Structure 1
Amino acid sequence: MGLNLNYKDILNELARNDKNVRQMTDEEHESLKDCLYEMSVDIEKRCRKNGIKLFLVGGSLLGAVRHGGFIPWDDDMDFGMKRSDYEKMKKVFDKEFSDAYELRCPNSDSPNGNRFMQIFKKGTVLRTIGDENPLQPSAAYVDIFPYDYVPENKIMRKIRGIKSNIEMFIASCVMDEKYMSKKTRKYYAQSKDGKLFFRIRRFVGNFFSFRSPVKWFNTVDNTIHYRRKTSLVTSATGRKHYFGEIYSTDTFFPLTEIKFKEHLFYAPGNYKRYLEGLYGNDYMVVPDKMHRECHFITELKL
């Protein structure tokens, strides 16, 4: 069997045998989804009020298309924003959102510890296995990914993409080296994959720790922010990184609307093309249980 260096897969596999963590109960799972849905509707309405278009992407869009809401075993909300709206969101957040939410985002006034924007709901607690980032609140949150233009020139595109992917890897390694707990380090030591994963990341984190994680994440954001309008866009901080999520601009814009539960959210104009690119042509087929994500928690208060 080949090595698995996906940190979520490693942690989840080890967590299955840890008595101090557990999978959410069905009741907790539904409560979390209710909380995230209410957050998303509220945030989306506030965005519209300020002329910002927040659109469904990733598993949330797939859930809307395939299930009419959440993927049954999923419990997060993924959104995108074109870069101009993403920057506007940072400017209006304190005035329009801070009564109920906290913002974490690169190149903002918040003490950010991630490569993309996250909005956390005040008064909630959500702690998961490996959740040790002190720069991010341990609370229910939604993810918002910036969608940036991509250079038309293939050489420029390759240089920018490779640079952004390397910087993202460095930033996450420096974050791990600075903040990873002894408990999580022991987790990784329990498996062959985990040991290799930890050694590689610790070496890189040590080597590049002359700058803080915050500064590295800001650098990533600066690299992916291409200021010329082109016929291509990407979600460089998404699940497939820079090269894996390049689409023609007309795949997304102009946006359309799609129903998620009872609320109409914005969605990519050609969301079928987007979902095929992200999940394959059989994205409407429900995967078997072996290929569904598990979510382990240590604390939940909503």
Structure 2
Amino acid sequence: MKKNLSEIFPDRRREYESEPTLRQAQLIILRILKIVDYICRKHNISYWLESGTLLGAVRHGGFIPWDDDIDIGMTREDYNRFLSIAKDELPDDLFVENLDTTEYAGNTWTQIKDRKSKIVIWGQENQHPGLYIDIFPYDSYSSNPFRRVFIEKLYKLLYINVYAINAPLKKPYFKGKNAVINAIKLLLKMVFFVFAIFNKDVIYKLNLKTRDKRIKRMDKNPKINYGYGTDVLNWDKVFKAEKIFPLKTMKFEDGEFLVPNDVDYVLRVFFGDDYMQLPPESKRVYHNKMIKTILPEEEVRKINKGFYYNKGEIDL
């Protein structure tokens, strides 16, 4: 099957060399999305475009022009099903990276990475460097506010608050808007000093110790509220099930992909009511420090060395 997918979705990166580097990267990860979409449809697995990728589909008909990744969501059940087959069905030039496939994953969600490219992300130097798409698990959250906040979201909310409180002050410290922002940050540090003494890495490790139990409990919840997995600490969004399901299709670049049922509502939750307006140019930034879309064979071998499937080195 791997050979067939390589034939259906051939690697055409050398045909893109005349394009700007960012556009080359977008076309490489668009191929990854098409392959994931193919596998999901074959096995009746649901997914949907989300976050900036969904915004790009609506506002630009494809990628946000300065975006360098793709985000999709899946219910936890479909996420687990996808992961159970992905390593066997993906072409050899793609790699499933998560905490079960490599100790260097860093994230608690899954990334499908291209083995023959390199993108350097701030703070992710130890991970596999290939261009990627993000796949986020969505859990079913309880309607009981106490249970949701103090059990299902506990580590998530701790992590977000610790990250915010410990964020460095902006320079120059006492000029213009920075003076107001920094004053608020200092006030928050004093009021919520207990968060300031925490370390987000400690919370990350504590989250991993209990995540399986939390996920198992949450699986018993009525399927009426879906949000980023209890183990996905960076974001806290929850949607009514009817805002996501039944899924629809929408054009993204030259393909049709699955999107939430109420796209407008979902985008308002993510980005606010003015999501169709372009941000100021100063906010049109991408994640990476550097992108290389075509690598010599020696570098391909080098970047894949040390990453493992089931404790066996990846075959190149």
State whether structure 2 residue 87 is matched by structure 1 residue 91. Answer: no
Do 1:59 and 1:78's aligned partners in 2 also have CA atoms closer than 8 Å?
yes
Aligned residue in 2 for 1:117:
110
Shift in Å at residue 130 of structure 1? 3.0
Shift in Å at residue 41 of structure 1? 1.1
Q: 1:81 to 1:121 in 2, by over 3 A?
A: same
Do 1:164 and 1:223's aligned partners in 2 also have CA atoms closer than 8 Å?
no
Aligned partner of 1:258: which letter?
M
- Supply the distance in 2 between the matched residues of 1:206 and 1:271 (Cα, whole angstroms): 32
- Supply the distance in 1 between the matched residues of 2:65 and 2:290 (Cα, whole angstroms): 21
Which segments of 5 or more consecutive residues in structure 2 lack a partner in the other structure?
1-17, 174-181, 295-316
From 129, 139, 161, the counterpart of 2:130: 139
From 223, 244, 262, the counterpart of 1:270: 262
State whether structure 2 residue 279 is matched by structure 1 residue 287. Answer: yes
The 3-state SS of whatever aligns with 2:20 is helix
From 279, 286, 292, the counterpart of 1:300: 292
Residue-by-residue CA offset, 1:178-220 (whole Å, 9 max, x unaligned): xxxxxxxxx99x9979xx99xx9997459949xxx77854644
Shift in Å at residue 301 of structure 1? 3.2
Q: 1:143 to 1:68 in 2, by over 3 A?
A: same
From 139, 145, 156, the counterpart of 2:147: 156
Residue-by-residue CA offset, 1:79-102 (whole Å, 9 max, x unaligned): 001111101012112211262321
- Supply the distance in 2 between the matched residues of 1:207 and 1:127 (Cα, whole angstroms): 21
Q: 1:300 to 1:289 in 2, by over 3 A?
A: same
TM-score between the two structures when normalised by the length of structure 1 = 0.71
Aligned residue in 1 for 2:29:
36
Do 1:231 and 1:248's aligned partners in 2 also have CA atoms closer than 8 Å?
yes
The 3-state SS of whatever aligns with 2:92 is coil
Number of positions where the alignment pairs a residue of Structure 1 with one of Structure 2: 251
Cα RMSD of the aligned pairs, angstroms, is: 3.5
**Which has the larger Rg?**
2
Residue-by-residue CA offset, 1:57-115 (whole Å, 9 max, x unaligned): 00000000111001112121010011111010121122112623211224x34433212
Do 1:103 and 1:110's aligned partners in 2 also have CA atoms closer than 8 Å?
no
State whether structure 2 residue 241 is matched by structure 1 residue 249. Answer: yes
Aligned partner of 1:118: which letter?
Q
Q: 1:45 to 1:163 in 2, by over 3 A?
A: same
The 3-state SS of whatever aligns with 2:138 is strand
- Supply the distance in 1 between the matched residues of 2:83 and 2:264 (Cα, whole angstroms): 30
- Supply the distance in 2 between the matched residues of 1:169 and 1:79 (Cα, whole angstroms): 21
From 62, 65, 76, the counterpart of 1:72: 65
State the identity as a percent: 26
Which segments of 5 or more consecutive residues in structure 1 lack a partner in the other structure?
1-24, 173-186
Aligned partner of 1:241: which letter?
W
Do 2:21 and 2:291's aligned partners in 1 also have CA atoms closer than 8 Å?
no
Shift in Å at residue 289 of structure 1? 0.8
Shift in Å at residue 50 of structure 1? 2.0
The 3-state SS of whatever aligns with 2:137 is strand
The 3-state SS of whatever aligns with 1:120 is strand
- Supply the distance in 2 between the matched residues of 1:170 and 1:281 (Cα, whole angstroms): 24
State whether structure 2 residue 90 is matched by structure 1 residue 100. Answer: no
Aligned residue in 1 for 2:176:
none
The 3-state SS of whatever aligns with 1:130 is coil
